[in-house]
Structure 1
Amino acid sequence: MTPDINDIPKLTDKYFLKSKEVVRHFGDARVTYGVFMRRPVTFAPRLAIDWLQGVAKARGTSFDIAPNFKEGAWVGAGDPMMYITGPFLHLVDLETIFLQKIGAACVAAYNAYTICSDLPKVAFLAMDARHCAGQEMMELMAYGASVGSEKAKKKVGAVGFIGCATDATAHFFGQNQGLGTMPHALIGYAGSTLRAAEMLHEAYPDEPMTVLVDYFGQEITDALDVCRRFPELAAAGRPSVRMDTHGGRHVEGLDMAQSYAVLDRNCPEAIRGYRSEKELRYLIGTGVSSAAIWHMREQLDQAGFPKVRIVASSGFSPEKCRMMAVSQAPVDVIGTGSYLPEKWSETYATADIIAYDGKPMVKLGREFLMQRWEEMQKAGSPPGSPIGLASGDR
C-alpha cells in the first residue's frame, strides 16, 4: 500500500506525468480536488489519506485534506467525500494511485456493514485473501471490512468481524495473527475427517478446533463422529463444525422437500412469503443453505451436543446473509470473502479539480462538487478544519 516514491511515475497515467512537466515549465498553482463516487458507500479513506500524507512528507511539501464525513459514515452517490488541496505540481501525478485506494475499500466497508448489521449476533471472519489480486487488494479489503464492522458494532451492537485469515491484515481487526484451522487438503492428507481432527488437536491442543465436515459429503455423520471422539471438548463448546458444502448438492440428509420441512419446523415464516429464486436457493437450495444450518443444529442437539458451534462459509454475500437473518439460521460464525465488491465498476472513485489558486473552476457537469467547498470558504474555514467532519455518521 506504500509504493516507493520513485515508483510513482511507473504506476500513474501518462497524461498526468505530461501535465506535471507542463506545470513545472509554466509555473505551479494551488489546486483543490473534489473526490466522489457514483454509488452509496461507507466512507473508508484512511489508507488513501495516509498515503497522500506520506508522499507529501517525502516530497517536502504538504497537502490539506478535508474529509466531509467521519470514517464509517454513509456517503451518498455524488456526495463530495473529501477535498484535497495542495501544489498542482505535487498532486497531479498522484491521482491514479490515491483513487485506487479509496473506492474498493468504501464498497467493501458498505457490504461488511450490511452483513454485520443483518446478523448482529454472528461473528464474522474475513476470508477475502484468496479472492484478492495481491497484497494491496488484501489490505484494502481487510481495512474496508474493519470499517464496516466497527460501524455495525457502534450502531446495532453487532459482534462483527473478529479477525481474518492472514497475519498480514490481522491488525485491522485488533489481532496479532490470522485465524483458521484446517483446509480440505488436510482432510485428504489425513484420509478421513476424524483423523484430520485428531491430528489438528494433537498439533494444537490448546486451541479451539474447527473441523470441516463436507469433504466426503457426510456433514452430519462426520460432525457427530468428531464430537463423540472429543466428548469433553464438545461438552465445553470448544469444537466447531464448519459447513462449506458446494452448490452442486444438498447437505447430507436433505433434499428440496426435506429442506422445506426443516424450515417449516424452525422458522416457517421464512418460506411462507414471496421469495425470489435466488432467495429460495439461499433458504432451501443446495450448498450451505439456511435449511442446511438448521438441519445441522437439530442433529447436533439431538445427539447431545448443544454447545458445539456451527461455522458456515461458501458465498455469504450481503444477499445471502439477509436470508440467514430472515430465517434466523443458528449460525455462530460466518467465514466470508463475499463482501468484496461484485461489480468492480462500482468501486471507481473519481476526482476533479474544482479550484485553481482559490478561483472556482470545474468541468461542465461536475459543479455539484463545489457546493460544500464554497460553503467552507464562506464560513472562513480552511481545508482540513473540523467543518470537514461535520456530516457525522449516518
Structure 2
Amino acid sequence: MPDVVIVVDMLRGFLEQGNPLYCGDSARRIIPHVQRLLEQEIARGSKVFYLADRHDPDDAEFKMFPPHCVAGTAEAELIPELASYPGETIPKNRYSGFFGTPLEEKLEALRPGKVIVCGVCTNICVLHTVSDARNRNYEVEIPVDCVASFDPAAHRFALEHMEKVLGAKLTRVAKAEVAAPRFEVDPSVLSGETADIYFLRAVEILKREGINPLATMEVFSSRAGLLCGMHEVHALLDQILPKDNREVWSLSEGDTFEEKEVVLRITAPYQSYGAYETAYLGMLSQCSGWATAARECVEAAQGIPVISFGARHLHPTVAGLFDYAAVVGGCTGCSSVAGARLAGMTATGTIPHALIIAMGDTVSATLAFDKHMPSDVPRIALVDTFKDEPEESVIVAQAMQGRLQGVRLDTPSERGGVTADLVKETRARLDLAGFKEVKIFVSGGLSAERIRYFIDQRAPVDAFGVGSYISGAKPIDFTADIHQVDGQPVAKRGRIPGITPNARLKRVM
C-alpha cells in the first residue's frame, strides 16, 4: 500500500511577504524540509495531495480573518518552490481538508499505510485535517520540521495535542548532514583500562575455561532520543571483532530512536568484544544525551540557526566529541576546533570579552579583529562589555563602514540577561541607522525553554549560541544484553530470549 502525503496550504498567500495572512519567516524556513519530504516520499511511490485554500470573495471565513486566497488570485497558487513536484491539488474552503472535498474518497481508494501531513498553519488547517484523518482511523505522521504557524505558542500546543490526544506520530525529515569522521580509538580503550573490571575478569575466566561462544549482543536505550556515537562504536568494533566471523547491525548516526528500541546488534565470538561493553555503551550514552539536548534547542528555534558554545563546560579531552554530537543534533556550527574537525566544518566564534577589555573598547577590538582575521571569518561584534547594547551596536556598525555582519548580545545575568525587548530595540536602532543587514546573535544561559521565549515574543534573533544546556545534558542509559548463544535463544530473566526484530537496523559489518 502506498503512503500518502497531504501538503496543507503551502500557498503564496501564506508563504510570501506582503499578503494579509503571511505566516512569517518560520513558515518560509520549512520549505526546504517539505521539498526533501516530497523527494523522499515520491521516490518511495507515495501519493501527494496538495490541499489549497480557495475562497469565494464573500466567504464567511472573512468575518474572522482578512480576505485571503480568493479563487483565481495569485494568493491561491502553490508556491513556486513546490510547483515542480507531482501531485493532485484539492481545493478547500474550510480548515479541514476533508470537509466538502473528495479527499476522503481518494484515501479510501488508495488505502494508505500511513498519511503524512505537512504545511501551514499547524494550529489551524493542519490540526483540523489531522483530527479528521485520525477520526477515520488513518495512521498519521507529522514531520515537525515541515509544519509552521504565525503563532509559535499555538504551534507547540497543536503539535502536543496531535501527538498526545489525537495519537499522531511526530517525526522529523531533516537530518544533520555530517560527514562520517575518522575516529581514532584511544589506546586506553583498546587496552581495557577504561573497562569495568568485571568484564575483564569475565573474559579472562572464559579464556582459561576454553569457552568462546558465538554470542549475539543487543543494545537498547532507556528513553527516546537522537542517536550519536555510533560512528565511534563502529570504529571500535572494526578493530576488535574478527573480520571473518562477525555481523554488526545498527541504526545510523543521527537517527531518532524510541525507548527500549534496539540500536545495535553484535554477533561475534564473545571473547572478542566482551571487555568493551563499558566503552561502546559509554560512547552512545554520552553523545546521544548531548545530541538529544541539541535537537531540543534546534526544534525550539524553529529554523533559526543554533550554534554550540558549550565546550568550555567540559573536560578538554571530550570537548571535540561534545561539539560533534551537538552538530549531529542539528547545531549549524560549534566553537571548538576539535569538534569542527570531526563534524567536517570550520569552528565558529565571535569576539571574547577578554579581547575587548584588553584593548580598552569594543570599537578598537572589532577593528583589530577585522584587520587581522581572514576574510572568510564572519565579522560579528560582541556589544555588551562597556556600553548600552543598542548604542554600541550602532557605534561599531558605523566604525566598520559596512563590513560588520552581526552583533552578539551576551548580557550577563547581573544585568538581567538578554531579553526580547533588548533584541527588538537593538534591531530597531540598527535599522534606523541604516544597518538593516547587520544580524543579531544571542547567547548567554540559553536553553530550549529560553529559546522558545524569544520565539514567542517574536524577537528578531538571527542565531542562538547555546552552551551548558547541551553540555550538561543527562546521558541516555543504554543497556547491552546477550540474546543468543551459538544460535540458541537465551536471555536473563525479565528479557525476551532471541533476536529482537527491528527493521530499521542496517548491516554495517
Q: If the length of structure 2 is used for normalisation, what is the TM-score?
A: 0.58
2:57 aligns with: none
Q: Are 1:85 and 2:267 an aligned pair?
A: yes
Give, in whole Å, the separation in 1 of the partners of 2:230 and 2:322. 13
User: 1:2, 1:219 → 2: CA distance?
Assistant: 46
Identity %: 28
Deviation per CA, 1:28-84, whole angstroms, max 9, x where unpaired?
Answer: 111111212212111224234323333226x666542211x4433321222222211
Match of 1:242 among 408, 413, 418: 408
User: Cα distance, 1:363 vs. partner?
Assistant: 1.9
What letter corresponds to residue 248 of structure 2 in structure 1? I
**Cα distance, 1:341–1:355 mapped onto 2, change above 3 Å:** farther
Q: Offset of 1:231 from its aligned partner?
A: 2.7
Query: Are residues 170 and 353 of structure 1, via their aligned partners in 2, closer, same or farther at CA, if it must alter by over 3 Å?
Result: same
Structure 1: unaligned runs, 5 residues or longer = 150-160, 250-285, 377-385
Q: Which amino acid aligns with 1:30?
A: L
Q: Contact 1:166–1:178 at 8 Å: present in 2 too?
A: yes
The one-letter amino acid paired with 1:77 is: E
Q: CA deviation at 1:174?
A: 3.4
Residue 285 of structure 2 corresponds to 103
Residue of structure 2 in register with 1:194 after alignment: 363
* CA–CA distance in structure 1, aligned partners of residues 233 and 373 of structure 2: 40
Within-5 A mapping of 1:1-394: 2-4=185-187, 7-26=190-209, 27-56=211-240, 62-67=245-250, 69-135=251-317, 137-149=318-330, 161-175=331-345, 177-204=346-373, 206=375, 207-233=377-403, 238-249=404-415, 286-340=416-470, 342-344=472-474, 346-367=475-496, 373-375=499-501, 388-389=505-506
1:269 alignment counterpart: none
- SS across alignment from 1:102: helix
Letter in 2 for 1:147: V
Offset of 1:16 from its aligned partner? 0.7
Q: Partner letter of residue 266 of structure 2?
A: I
Matching residue's letter, 2:414? G
Counterpart amino acid of 1:34?
A: E
Report the TM-score, using the length of structure 1 for normalisation: 0.74
**1:162–1:173 contact (8 Å) kept in structure 2:** no
* 1:186 counterpart SS class: helix
Larger Rg: 2
Q: Deviations over 1:181-230 (max 9, x none)?
A: 31111011101111111211121262431111111252122212101212
State the secondary structure of the residue aligned to 2:458: coil
Which secondary structure state, in structure 1, belongs to the residue aligned with residue 480 of structure 2?
A: strand
Q: In the alignment, is the contact (CA less than 8 A) between 1:317 and 1:339 conserved in 2?
A: yes
Instruction: Note the aligned Cα RMSD (angstroms).
Output: 2.5
* CA deviation map 1:65-124 (0-9, x unaligned): 211x44333212222222112111111100111111101221222222232233243222
Please give the secondary structure, in 1, of the residue aligned with 2:329.
helix
Residue type matched to 1:222 in 2? E
Task: Decide whether the 8 Å contact of 1:341 with 1:347 is kept in 2.
Answer: no
Hey, what's the Cα distance between the residues in 1 that align with 2:192 and 2:500? 33
Aligned-partner residue type, residue 364 of structure 1: R
In 1, the alpha carbon distance for the partners of 2:187 and 2:243 equals: 15
Counterpart of 2:422, as a letter, is A
Change (3 A) 1:5 1:130: closer
Count of residues in Structure 1 that have an aligned counterpart in Structure 2: 322
